[in-house]
Amino acid sequence: MRWLSVERVGYVPFVQGGDSAEPSGQIGSGLPPATLVVQPDKILFVKRGFEDERDRIRSFINDKGHLLVDLRPPGTDPCSDGVVDVLGKNGQSALDAARGYVDELTNIIQSLNDAATDYGLVEQANADKFGQGPA
């Protein structure tokens, strides 16, 4: 039995002490890249789980992502302005990281889709749906 293996490495940007919001290193620096091993008959199930996660995160980004960046100072003093500036940069970094996460999930989904196509699972799933009639 052949197994599917997917490897991906991403980056997480974040701000330290008011520095710029540039990527500071790889996710899990010092750790080996993660490998996803899936039995062929579970590919579509696993793919659906990744799609659900991607859609959940993408929905948060679209619906509430601005709340991480567009902050109002709690007061009119310079300290409040400075805090909001740093929090906004951290929020933007978090938003960028979340978008990167969505991109990585999309890459994994594409790899799973390619594997499903190689195994003929996509055609079988379509045939099963066709046999059930309209949804």
* Phi, psi values for residue 76, rounded to 5°: -105, 5
* Mean of pLDDT over the chain: 77
pLDDT at 37: 85
Kindly indicate whether the domain formed by 48-117 is annotated with CATH number 1.10.10.
Answer: no
In the chain, where the domains are located: 48-117
CB burial readout 62-93, b (16+ within 10 A) else e: eeebeebeebeeeeeeeeeeeebeeebbbbbb
- 76-135 residue pLDDT tens: 888 888 888 888 999 999 999 999 999 989 999 999 999 898 888 876 666 666 666 555
- Cβ–Cβ under 8 Å, residues 21 and 96: yes
3-state secondary structure of 98: helix
